[in-house]
Amino acid sequence: MTETETEFKTLMCLVCGWIYSEKDGAPSEGLAPGTRWDDIPDTWTCPECGVKKEDFTMVEF
| Distance set, CA 13 to CA 29, 37, 52 (Å) | 15, 13, 9
- The pTM of the full predicted model, rounded to 2 decimals, is 0.86
The CA distance from 31 to 36, in Å, is 9
pLDDT of residue 2: 53
Cα-only R_g, the chain: 11
Average pLDDT, the chain: 92
pLDDT of residue 17: 98
pLDDT tens across 2-11, in order? 555 579 999 9
Beta bridge partners of 11: 20, 58
Q: How many degrees, rounded to 5, is the angle at CA 30 between CA 47 and CA 61?
A: 65
Q: Write the burial class of residue 38 (CB in 10 Å: 0-12 exposed, 13-18 middle, 19+ buried).
A: exposed
pLDDT at 61 over 90: no
pLDDT tens across 8-55, in order? 999 999 999 999 999 999 999 999 999 999 999 999 999 999 999 999
